[in-house]
Amino acid sequence: MALRRWSPAAIALMLSASLWGQSARVFRDGDSWVEETTGTLPAGHEFRASTDLGSLQVAGTASQVSQVSYVVRKRSRSSTEQEARQQFELLRISTSRAGDAVVLEGHLLGHNVKRVTADIVVQLPPQTQVVKVETREGALAVASIAGSVAGSTAGGNVRVDRISGPVKIVSGGGNMEATNVTTDLYLQSGGGNVSVEGANGQVMIKTGGGRVHVGTSGAASIETGAGNIEVDRCSGDVRVNSGGGNLNLGDVSGTVTAETGGGTVKIASAQGEVRVITGGGAVELMKIARSAHVETGGGPITVQFVARPGQFGDSSLHTALGNIVVYLPRDLGVSVHAATEMASGPGIKSEFQGLAITSEGGQYGPKAMFGEGQLNGGGPILRLRTTIGQIEIRRSQ
């Protein structure tokens, strides 16, 4: 009897059938038809998933399993089961193996899919160290991964939680949320809001116009086209930039570089050098341990220095319209150069001895005032300048 010759495609199909189990059922759920497909795959070092339609949820498991398991739920609001099955066929789920990577893909076979949605849920074993995921429009969620995560979505929301390796995810415009990331984190959105709670490594965030909130992080670099930025606590340097939003920073262990097109800027404390530029907002900097350089197009400036002798560096505070109030430690040596071009009332006041105040101008109208002096014997230079406003130098309590 002649031996039957099998084609490579047939051999691959038989291997797939022997390695991977899959089952499907269709049932009614309220006003919708649902096709639920479950399957398992042999585990690999890497897992890749992409879908043209629907959301994707990937989570690791602590149990000592050796397989990847998945559930695909397609939902249709068709009136009949036959019509729903035809709709379900438009999204084809395929699985394959590429080296040590397990691959799951959802491909659209047509364009008339307005009445169909899909959700893909995947559970990974502990040995999976690399996760790469992508959706065209749907939401993306990844949790409890012991390795690295890379992902993208054309416009869906993103959530990552409990990731031990580095994370890099890009969204075309959805909101993004990350919690409990052990190492470095990179998030980019075309315009959504971004929230991060608990990132131990470096954090880099870019969004076209949404709000950004960071709870705790390592060194952070944050950019938004127009939204507000909040950072509660940072263990490294911080760089924040907004096209026009407010910047509100909590406790920063390193340096601060903050720039906004027109919002207010607040800092609770900073151990390193601080540089602030705003097109027109108020600036309030508290517990500044070294130096500060501030420029605002129109708003008051309040700065509290807590630097000890030998730590303080040259500083400058300038506003085009607004008062300047500076708090200095009682024993800090500083060389002050203060000027207000159009002052009313006292103009320049100091609670320290050694500041010589002079004025130019008429008795009844605005006048220019200048303050020069060596406080506590002098030291690094502190330049204070307002075009219209008053200047006060006070002792820290």
Q: Over 50: is that where the pLDDT of 7 sits? A: no
Question: Rounded to an integer, what distance in angstroms lies between the CA atom of residue 331 and that of residue 312?
Answer: 12
- Nearest-angstrom CA–CA distance, 61 and 67: 11
Pairing of β 167-171 and β 148-153? parallel
Structure tokens at 136: 């065209």
> Which residues pair with residue 370 across a beta bridge?
339, 358
Residue pLDDT, tens place only, 64-92 = 778 999 999 999 988 899 999 988 998 99
Give yes or no for residue 190 having a pLDDT over 50. Answer: yes
3-state secondary structure of 88: helix
Residue 16: what pLDDT?
A: 40
Dihedral sign for Cα 376, 377, 383, 386, please: positive
Helix (H) or strand (E) holding 19: helix 8-19
Q: What is the pTM of this model?
A: 0.90
Number of Cβ within 10 Å of residue 1's Cβ equals 3
Classify burial at 38, counting beta carbons within 10 Å of its beta carbon; exposed 0-12, middle 13-18, buried 19 or more.
middle
How far is residue 173's CA from residue 156's CA, in Å, rounded to a whole number?
A: 7
- pLDDT, residue 172, reads 93
If phi > 0 it is left, if psi is from -120 to 50 it is alpha, else beta; for residue 10 that is alpha
pLDDT band at 246 (very low <50, low <70, confident <90, very high): very high
Residues 281-302 pLDDT 10s = 999 999 999 999 999 999 999 9
Q: Is the pLDDT of residue 168 over 90?
A: yes
- The single-letter code of the amino acid at 155 is G
Give, in order, the Cα–Cα distances in Å from 287 to each of 246, 271, 304, 327, 376: 19, 8, 5, 9, 20
Report the pLDDT value the prediction gives residue 119, as an integer from 0 to 100. 96
| CA 254 – CA 105 distance, rounded (Å) | 44
pLDDT number for residue 137:
82
**85: enclosing H helix or E strand:** helix 81-88
Task: With a cut of 60, say whether residue 342 has pLDDT above it.
Answer: yes
pLDDT at 225: 94
pLDDT 10s digits, 33-76: 999 999 999 999 999 999 999 999 999 987 777 899 999 999 99
Rounded to whole angstroms, how far apart are CA atoms 379 and 333?
5
Secondary element (H or E) of residue 36: strand 32-42
Where does the pLDDT of residue 160 fall: very low under 50, low under 70, confident under 90, or very high at 90 and above?
very high
Distance CA 302, CA 320 (A): 14
pLDDT the model gives residue 18 = 36
Q: How confident is the model at residue 397 (pLDDT cuts 50, 70, 90)?
A: confident
